[in-house]
Chains A and B, each alone.
Chain A
Amino acid sequence: MAENIISLQGVTKEFTTKSGPVVALRDINLDIERGDSYGIIGLSGAGKSTLVRTINLLEEPTEGKVLFDGRVLTGLKSKELNLQRRKISMIFQQFNLLMQRDAVGNICFPLEIAGVPKAEAVAKAEELLKVVDLEERAHSYPSQLSGGQKQRVAIARALASDPEVILCDEATSALDPKTTRSILTLLRKINEERGITLVVITHEMGVIKQLCNKVAVIEGGEIVERGPVKEIFANPKTKAARKLFFPDAGEREMPHVRTAVKNRLRLAFNEQTAYKPIIANMILEIGEPVNMLYANMDALLDEQKGQMVIALSDDKEIAEKQKAYLMKEGVNFTEIPEDSDYYDYPVNGPEEEVSE
C-alpha cells in the first residue's frame, strides 16, 4: 500500500478581516498518497486555494497539522520549512514567472536558491525545456511568451528541484481549451512517468476527468465528498458533487428532465457498458420505445463513462421488463421521482446524503 505523502489533520483556517472572522477551511482531514493525482474541486470561494496553500504553509493553519512525507510541517522553523518546500513545487493560474529573467533564468531560480552551481543549473534548465517542449524559447522573456508557453516554463521551473509533489492552483484556468488540453497532457505525463504526486485545484470538472485518479469535493470550506474519480463520477452522493460533475443538466433548460415526465430513470454506464448499444437492443427486444431525455458520454483518464436519463413505458408491466433488461446488462440505474430535481437523486438509489 502506498504511503501518504501529504496528510492534513484537522486543518482549520480562519482569516481575520475588517468585517470579522472568515472561516475558509473547517476541520479538513485529507490524505494524499504518493503517486496520486489528487483533484480538489469546488466553486469559487469554496476554499480550494486556501487548502492547497496550507500544504506548503503559504497559509498557516489556525488549527491542525500538516504532514509531508511523515514529517510535521506546521511549527517548523523557517529555515527547515524552506528546505522541505524545495520538495513541494507549485504552479499558478497567473504563472508567476520573473519578468526580468528569460525562460532558462526562471527555471534556474529554484536551483539558485538551493545553491546549485550556475553551470549545472543552466544545463538542467536546458534539459527541462526539452521535457516541456520549449527548447527554442530558452532565451525568451515571459513578456514574449504565450500563456501556454509561460505555464510550460513554470512547469519546468517546478520540476527543477526534483520535487516529490507539485501543487497546481487553477493551472489551466487562464488558458484556452486547446492549450488547457496540452498542459493537462503534460502534467499527466509528469505524474505517470516521474511518479510525482499532483494536487490539482480546479473549478472545472474537465480537468479532473483528464488528469486525476482521486477527487475531493469542497464546499464552504469543508470536504463534502471524496474518493476515486470513477466512483464519484458513477455515483456522486452529494448535491455539490452532482452539480460539479454534471453542470450541463442544471445550466440548460431541460424541463422534461426535471418535471412532469413519469417513470424517469437515470442510468450510469461504465467501461463495460458504455460501448454496447444497450438501449437500442432493449427497444428491439421488448418492442417498446423509450423516451431519451438526457445523455452524456465522458472520458475519465482514458475510461469511457456515461450518464443518461430515459423515461420508461407508462405500462407498468413493460416498464418492469425494461428495468429487468437493464439490470441484466449491468447498467446501474436509479428512479427519479416525479417533480424532483435532477440533482436531488444519486445514481444508486436515494442513499443518505453525506452531511454538509
Chain B
Amino acid sequence: MDAQTLLKLLGEGTVQTLIMTLVGTLVSYMIGLPVGVSLITSSPNGIRPMPVYNKVMGFIVNVIRSMPFLILMIAFMPYIRILIGTGIGTAATTAALILAAWPFVARMVEQSLLEVDPGVIEAAQAMGASNMQIIRKVLLLEARPSLLNGAAVATITILGYSAMAGTLGGGGLGDIAIRFGHYRFQPTVMWITIIVLVVLVQIMQEIGIRVAAKLDNRIN
C-alpha cells in the first residue's frame, strides 16, 4: 500500500471513529445522565426516595454493565439489524456503543453526584427549592468538575469500545487495524492505528482535565 492510500484510509478511519465515539457518547449521556440523576434522587437518602424504581433501575444498569462489550454487541446484533436495517458499519456500531455505554455513564454520573455535600442540598430544601431546582442548580452545578472528568473517561471508554467493534466489521480505526494490520499482516498499519488511538485518548483526557479544572471554582 502506498503512503497516499494509507493516509486516506487512516483519515477516513479516524473520522469514522470520532463520529462513532462522539455520537455514541452524546446519546449515551442523553440516556445515562437522567438515569444517573434519578438513581441519586430516588435513593433512600435522596430528595425523592422511590425504592422500587431505584432497585429495578440499579439492577438493569448492573446487568448491562457486567456484560463484556464484545459479547453484548454480538448478542444484540440481530436485534440491532432488525431495528436499523444493518448489522455492520458505523451506524450499527454506534447503536451497540450506546446500548453498552449508557449504564456506564449512569454510574459515572451517580458517582459524581454522590460527591455533592448533602448539607448544601438540605440548605436548598430549607430555602424552598423544588426538586427540579435542586437537580439543576445544586446537583448538576456543584458536581460539574467531576461530571466533566467523568465525561472524558466515558468518551475514552466509548472510543475503546468502538475500536473493539471494528474487529466485528464495525468500521473506523479498529476495522483498519484488524483488516490491514492483522489479516494482511501489515505491522506498520497496525502500529500507526495504535498511535492514532493513543493520541486521540491523550487529547480527550487533556481536554477533559483542562475544562473540568477551568470550570471548578473550588480554587485554593
User: Which A residues form the contact surface with B (CB < 8 A)?
Assistant: 56, 58, 78-79, 81-86, 88-90, 92, 94, 96-102, 109-110, 112-114, 141-144, 161, 167
Decide if B141 touches A100 in the complex (CB within 8 Å).
yes
Report yes or no: B141 in contact with A143, Cβ–Cβ below 8 A: no
**A82 and B137 in contact (CB under 8 A), knowing A94-B119, A101-B217?**
no
Chain B residues with CB under 8 Å of chain A are 117, 119-120, 122-130, 133, 137-138, 141-142, 144, 216-220
The one of A85, A99, A161 that contacts B217, using a Cβ cutoff of 8 Å:
A99
Extra contacts, 14 of them, besides A58-B126, A86-B127, A144-B219 (Cβ < 8 A), are A56-B126, A58-B125, A89-B126, A92-B122, A98-B141, A100-B217, A100-B218, A101-B141, A101-B217, A109-B124, A110-B128, A112-B137, A113-B127, A113-B137
A82 touches B128 (CB 8 A): yes
A/B pair count, beta carbons within 8 Å = 79
Q: Are A109 and B125 in contact (CB under 8 A)?
A: no
Offer 29 A-B interface pairs, CB within 8 angstroms, sorted by A: A56-B126, A79-B130, A82-B128, A82-B129, A83-B128, A85-B125, A85-B126, A85-B128, A90-B127, A92-B119, A92-B123, A97-B120, A98-B141, A98-B142, A99-B117, A99-B120, A99-B217, A99-B218, A100-B144, A100-B216, A100-B217, A101-B141, A113-B124, A113-B129, A113-B130, A141-B219, A142-B218, A143-B220, A167-B126
B199 to A: closest C-beta gap in Å: 32
A318 vs chain B, min Cβ distance (A)? 61
| Residues of B contacting A: mostly | helix
Q: How far is the CA of A143 from the CA of B220 in the complex (A)?
A: 6
Q: How far is the CA of A58 from the CA of B117 in the complex (A)?
A: 16
Most buried by A among B120, B123, B129, B216: B123
Tell me the complex Cα distance, A79–B218, Å: 33
Closest chain B CB from A91 CB (angstroms): 9
Q: In the complex, are the beta carbons of B217 and A143 less than 8 A apart?
A: yes
